[in-house]
Amino acid sequence: MGIIMSTSVMLLFLLGLCHLSTAAAVDKNDVAKPKTTASTTYIVHMAKSEMPASFEHHTHWYGSSLKTVSDSAEMMYIYSNAIHGFSTKLTPEQAESLQSQPGVLSVLPELKYELHTTRTPEFLGLGQTTETIPQSNSESDVIIGVLDTGVWPESKSFDDTGLGPVPGSWKGACESGTNFNSSNCNRKLIGARYFAKGYEATLGPIETSKESKSPRDDDGHGTHTASTAAGSVVSGASLFGYALGTARGMAPRARIAAYKVCWVGGCFSSDIVAAIDQAIADNVNVLSMSLGGGMSDYFRDSVAIGAFSAMEKGILISCSAGNAGPSAYSLSNSAPWITTVGAGTLDRDFPAFVSLGNGKNFSGVSLYRGDSNAAPTALTPFVYAANASNATSGNLCMMGTLIPEQVKGKIVMCDRGVNARVQKGAVVKAAGGVGMILANTAANGEELVADAHLLPATSVGLQNADVIKSYLFKDPNPTATILFEGTKVGVQPSPVVAAFSSRGPNSVTPDVLKPDIVAPGVNILAAWSGAIGPTGLAIDARRVAFNIISGTSMSCPHVSGLAALLKGAHPEWSPAAIRSALMTTAYTAYKNGQKLQDVATGKPSTPFDHGGGHVDPISALNPGLVYDLTVDDYLNFLCALNYSATEINSLAKRSYTCDEKKKYSVRDLNYPSFAVNFESRYGGGTTSSNVVKYTRTLTNVGPPGTYKASVTSESQLVKISVEPETLSFSQANEKKGYTVTFSAVGSVPANAENSFGRVEWSDGKHIVGSPIAISWN
């Protein structure tokens, strides 16, 4: 936690996966529990088709069902699109009783989610002069819904100059509230809503003196993600002169609808579901959610359930993978109907060097740009925080742990961990320090994330930190200074997979490879809220129009905007087709032929790190072939997971019975990647078999052509074959199927490691690539 984002120490910026509430999901077979009067928010999923004929409307039925367990409980939200049901506050006993009522599919406790918290268009090949992007009004008809902390409407990134009327398909609204009214919307920011009933039910009324009970963004995160996805072109954008240039979103002519679901205390599932429910009704085309989903079964995951309903309506859902990397099995938002996005770097850096008294220099990064007289240009006394503290955790520079007499007038070296990086600098400054060197630990390795510190400071990687500490411990009078070098572009290699980016395998469904793709997520410049400083600290009185922050929260809206770009160019494409185009055209090697690197290991990254690879939007506009999916395909997938009729109903909002005569297999889901698990635990099984078969269908979205298959693999333990090896397409939207067979060769060592490969189809002009990940369970 807290190792990624640089902009806030509020609870919302504690990075990682979702935090579950203490209540467990209700199960009819639970043993008796001691009675309690404490109430909790629950989301109640109803089988709408089972409504008795005596009720005129489903809301009356919902209310009647609720009255059977509580005379006082009220429905907070009534859901009609994302799910069928409602949310309410109940005691655990009441929730268990409600679960047994006719027509009730499930009663799930409120969960708290947290946010996963320019140069980018040029880096992705989307410069303003690029002639390969179709120039039409179609992009301006695409609406991106952003579920986040709201929006700062006065930002130049939401200027609507040059945009035509609001699309006629738009059914949404611009809600008024604290410091926000309907006139704050325009032809760019066409909608803004807020959802706080779940938050207030758990944590009490919102204090409007501290945050706006309205769509207004007092945090910055939502403004940053919205402008990254579809911000208007703004010249002269920078953070204190860093990253100076023209800022623009990925789809600068697309429209934005902001849905505020995250508050100081977190993002609550009942509010998230309500926002998805409303966004579907509002007719958005893309949903961007830079927040953590669960690692539970999909029928218990509110984000996955809401996303399923959005997918049914033709809405692409882009979600962040999470910031819990580089640990394996750390990603969230793993449902196959969600596009799961990891983070990579840009070719831009912000160098700030450490110069020691012994004459040695070490590279670091920083976004400090304060009083030039405040930065120590001469060698200055230097101390390790642990040696200037009586606390056992003194090395971490936490509040109240430094001894001012031992810090005053010195540069202090602090270790990363526990509290926010920018807060460590604030602690040093408060104790009288004049500068800080922030040291990576083994948990961070060589990954460097720049921060807009309150005092002269720089961050150094683990190797440099160890050498600097050695100097500190051995020299009786250590000194140091920090040299700030501004902005540097053309950094190589780039991109590299960020260490914080959450990794596969997919813990919910191992036979579906996740993440899907990586996009820029490190040191991203985008619009910011005028209500808070760039560090997010209360003591930071600075105000900026743009900020530079990092996280898969930043990579997610890149893909959301690119999806809008593709939707504008190809309005007929389904969400699965758009994701396929992004995945199969992504690159996994640099122009020199070397494989993409993982900054966490210094070695080549794998599909468990980067999915299909790093997004390449120009190629995605013309992918040649796509792997498409329908709602029925996903329903068959749920059958392959052996979900019950009730569990499927929770996701699909209708009765659906799996055909007992049909053999379902997760491996037949028409996904643009291959996660191969020998001794898989899923349907269609190969429990002890040494042969695994995957079927796929390709749809032609380009000119007629003949595609030939090629396979690359680093494994000597598995033989991979494709049948047929050639596919010929004579017309648009023609479909052709193929099978990939994975055969284990000989005896497999007990310590066999994961191995990786790739299947590619090419007609000489297009390359349609799919990653392969082989695991031994």
Nearest-CA neighbor of 697 among 734, 732, 670, 659? 670
d(CA 319, CA 299): 18
Residue type, position 292, single letter = G
Please state, in angstroms and as integers, the Cα–Cα distance from residue 272 to each residue in 269, 460, 543, 672, following that order: 5, 38, 29, 28
Q: Is 540 designated active site? A: no
Q: Which of 45, 84, 221, 224 is catalytic?
A: 221
R_g of the chain, CA atoms, integer Å: 26
Q: Are 16 and 322 in contact (CB under 8 A)?
A: yes
Helix (H, G, I), strand (E, B) or coil at 271: helix
E strand spans, 24-138:
40-46, 75-79, 85-90, 104-109, 112-113
Helix (H, G, I), strand (E, B) or coil at 663: coil
Q: Is 355 designated active site? A: no
Q: Which of 84, 87, 148, 269 is catalytic?
A: 148
Nearest-CA neighbor of 151 among 223, 232, 83, 255? 223
Please state, in angstroms and as integers, the Cα–Cα distance from residue 654 to each residue in 296, 442, 637, 646, following that order: 21, 49, 16, 9
Structure tokens at 581: 């185009």
* φ, ψ (nearest 5 deg) of residue 231: -65, 145
Q: Exposed/middle/buried for 161, CB within 10 Å: 0-12, 13-18, 19+?
A: exposed
Structure tokens at 473: 């411990």
Nearest-CA neighbor of 332 among 302, 366, 306, 294? 294
For residue 365, the tally of other CB atoms under 10 A from its CB is 22
Q: Which of 320, 553, 650, 673 is catalytic?
A: 553
d(CA 761, CA 661): 34
Which residues have a Cβ under 8 Å from the Cβ of 241 and sit 6 or more positions away? 369, 486, 487
Structure tokens at 467: 């050498």
319, β-bridge pairs: 289, 340
Q: Is 45 designated active site? A: no
d(CA 263, CA 150): 9
User: Looking at the annotation, which residues are catalytic?
Assistant: 148, 221, 553
